[in-house]
């Protein structure tokens, strides 16, 4: 834990950041890559968190996804799922490097003492009933014990860790629930992906995971740390720096401690390598009251947060949908070198809505340059772009557009030096568009390192297929022009930070598409 104390004393050069990252990864490795896990509080009660957590971890271990042996600990002993339950972690006939604790709060200090004697390296404390309800002394006792034995803690009062790459899943929430005799998927886990999501709220975190599952957005790691007595955003950023499965870090925060000087310092240097997207709960008086009762934190002055986030280089988002849309875009597309965007559409109204939203959020939709206009008109003369198309930007290739119309217009826009990013509104309805039009657009985009975001409006099968196909091929897609513009704004904002700290060119040289 010493690197946190050192943060205020040293200049955080790239070399120093990487050195701290190495230390953090060594200390935290057992959270994500354990050799063995003990579930303290494994229970035979099917409705208890200990039953669910033990079952999921054991199944992941048996399937080979989790490369760790899983042990159950219950003071009454016995057996569960064909495995013995040990009365104490001290009775486990093997080394244990990760303990998942789900016993009532008053028993946690004793469990931590036994973990220390066992040589446990990390503990995920799911148990609630600490400072969030005023039991500060009890929480301090847990922390003191952990420090005495050099045990790192995630929690208490959180969901812990979910890692689809390595099979660690300490969430005590069952996959399915029964409704009218049917088993419905209630708490799905997203597929493997490239986002680390850190949340101070477990319930909100799970809701976001549910949405990510439904939208097909992949996840690298989810960390729900609750009261955050030890492991925090600084630790997670230091871990994420060298994790190849993490391209974007999403952070939901509530308490004022979250954006301290040390975090701002680490995040600013980290943001030169990977983007951070942030959502703050408790921005109003009512929200601040809710924060105080939720995690025993102070919400703080929103202006202080805004200033800190700007210094961090993080992208500030205003609501949950923006939080998700911007993060998705940053996974798949490079940052923009500037704020000038081109809009290519086959529907005039959708292009107008996109233009309005772009101006509202500070993007520029410049008039079409003479050079770009000449390319578009030549394609029109050759019959590739329909004669009824208009080129004012939005570039409206009309309802008579074909696959080739889109390719010609998008390539012309991406080749234009004055255009930094492109919004493709690919409404699937025109009859000349084939089932291959998305694939042809993607092939055209691959030649350039400028960000492209796609939109298709609709809720029926074809609209869903178009958006899914864009996502599958590495171009983030959205169901409304406004959401597409917000995603582009995130790419522009991150590019502006990289330019400000003179890291843009180096980032673009490193950047490679996921797909």
pLDDT value at residue 289: 46
pLDDT digit string, tens, across residues 436-495? 999 999 999 998 989 999 999 999 999 999 999 999 999 999 999 999 999 999 999 999
Report if residue 53 sits inside a domain: no
CB 504, CB 498: distance < 8 Å? yes
pLDDT value at residue 337: 98
Q: H or E segment at 202?
A: helix 202-215
Query: How far is Cα 274 from Cα 264, in angstroms, rounded to an integer?
Result: 15
Report if residue 445 sits inside a domain: yes
Domain count, the chain: 1
Question: What would the mean pLDDT of 244-269 be, rounded to a whole number?
Answer: 87
pLDDT at 255 over 90: no
Q: Is residue 314 helix, strand or coil?
A: coil
CB 254, CB 225: distance < 8 Å? no
* Closest by Cα among 387, 389, 325, 383 to 357: 325
Instruction: Give whole-number Cα distances, 231 to 124, 243, 369, 481, 488, in Å.
Output: 10, 17, 52, 39, 32
Crossing angle of helices 348-360 and 481-500, rounded to 10°: 40
Report if residue 422 sits inside a domain: yes
Before 419, cis peptide (omega within 30)? Answer: no
Residue 455 backbone phi and psi in degrees, to 5: -135, 135
Report if residue 420 sits inside a domain: yes
Report if residue 227 sits inside a domain: no
Q: What percent of the chain has pLDDT over 70?
A: 95
pLDDT value at residue 5: 80
Residue range(s) defining the domain that contains residue 367: 335-510
472: domain CATH number?
A: 3.40.50.261
pLDDT digit string, tens, across residues 336-385? 999 999 999 999 999 999 999 999 999 999 999 999 999 999 999 999 99
Residue 501 backbone phi and psi in degrees, to 5: -95, 15
Q: Is residue 12 helix, strand or coil?
A: coil
Q: What percent of the chain has pLDDT over 90?
A: 85
Relative to beta strand 182-185, strand 176-179 is: antiparallel
pLDDT digit string, tens, across residues 173-221? 989 888 888 889 889 999 999 999 999 888 899 999 999 999 999 999 9
pLDDT value at residue 372: 97
Query: How far is Cα 475 from Cα 329, in angstroms, rounded to an integer?
Result: 8
Report if residue 325 sits inside a domain: no
Crossing angle of helices 261-270 and 14-32, rounded to 10°: 100
CB 338, CB 495: distance < 8 Å? yes
Report if residue 15 sits inside a domain: no
Query: How far is Cα 170 from Cα 101, in angstroms, rounded to an integer?
Result: 9
- Residues 6 or more apart whose CB falls under 8 angstroms from that of 11 comprise none
Report if residue 429 sits inside a domain: yes
């Amino acid at each position: 834990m010493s690197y946190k104390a050192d943060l205020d004393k040293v200049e955080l050069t790239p070399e120093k950041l990487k050195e701290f990252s190495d230390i953090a990864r060594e200390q935290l490795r057992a959270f994500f890559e354990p050799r063995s896990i003990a579930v303290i509080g494994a229970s035979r009660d099917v409705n208890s968190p200990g039953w669910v957590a033990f079952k999921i971890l054991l199944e992941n271990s048996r399937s080979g996804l989790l490369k760790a042996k899983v042990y159950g600990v219950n003071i009454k002993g016995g057996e569960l799922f064909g495995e013995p339950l040990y009365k104490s972690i001290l009775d486990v006939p093997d080394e244990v490097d990760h303990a998942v604790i789900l016993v009532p709060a008053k028993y946690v200090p004793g469990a931590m003492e036994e973990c220390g004697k066992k040589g446990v390296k990390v503990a995920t404390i799911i148990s609630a009933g600490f400072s969030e309800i005023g039991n500060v002394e009890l929480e301090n006792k847990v922390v003191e014990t952990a420090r005495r034995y050099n045990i790192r803690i995630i929690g208490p009062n959180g969901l812990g860790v979910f890692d689809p790459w390595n099979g660690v899943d300490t969430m005590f929430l069952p996959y399915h629930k029964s409704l009218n005799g049917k088993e419905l998927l209630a708490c799905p886990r997203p597929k493997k992906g490239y986002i680390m999501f850190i949340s101070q709220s477990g319930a909100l975190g799970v809701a976001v995971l549910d949405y990510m599952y439904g939208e097909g957005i992949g996840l690298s790691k989810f960390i729900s740390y609750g009261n955050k007595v030890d492991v925090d955003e600084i630790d997670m950023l230091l871990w994420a720096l060298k994790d190849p499965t993490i391209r974007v870090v999403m952070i939901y925060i509530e308490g004022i401690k979250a954006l301290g000087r040390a975090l701002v310092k680490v995040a600013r240097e980290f943001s030169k390598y990977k983007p951070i997207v942030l959502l703050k709960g408790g921005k109003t008086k009512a929200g601040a009251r809710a924060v105080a009762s939720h995690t025993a934190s102070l919400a703080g002055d929103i202006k202080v947060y805004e200033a800190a986030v700007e210094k961090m280089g993080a992208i500030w988002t205003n609501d949950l949908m923006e939080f998700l849309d911007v993060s998705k875009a940053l996974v798949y597309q490079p940052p923009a070198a500037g704020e000038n965007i081109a809009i290519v559409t086959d529907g005039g109204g959708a292009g107008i809505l996109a233009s309005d939203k772009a101006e509202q959020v500070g993007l520029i939709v410049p008039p079409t340059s003479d050079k770009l206009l000449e390319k578009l008109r030549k394609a029109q003369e050759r019959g590739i772009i329909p004669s009824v198309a208009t080129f004012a930007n939005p570039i409206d290739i009309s309802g008579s557009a074909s696959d080739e119309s889109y390719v010609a217009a998008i390539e012309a826009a991406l080749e234009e030096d004055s255009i930094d990013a492109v919004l493709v509104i690919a409404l699937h309805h025109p009859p000349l568009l084939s089932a291959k039009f998305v694939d042809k657009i993607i092939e055209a985009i691959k030649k350039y390192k400028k960000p492209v975001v796609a939109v298709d409006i609709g809720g029926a099968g074809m609209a869903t297929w178009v958006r899914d196909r864009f996502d599958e091929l590495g171009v983030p897609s959205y169901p409304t022009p406004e959401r597409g513009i917000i995603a582009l704004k995130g790419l522009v904002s991150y590019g502006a930070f990289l330019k400000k700290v003179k890291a843009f060119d180096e980032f673009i040289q490193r950047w490679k598409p996921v797909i």
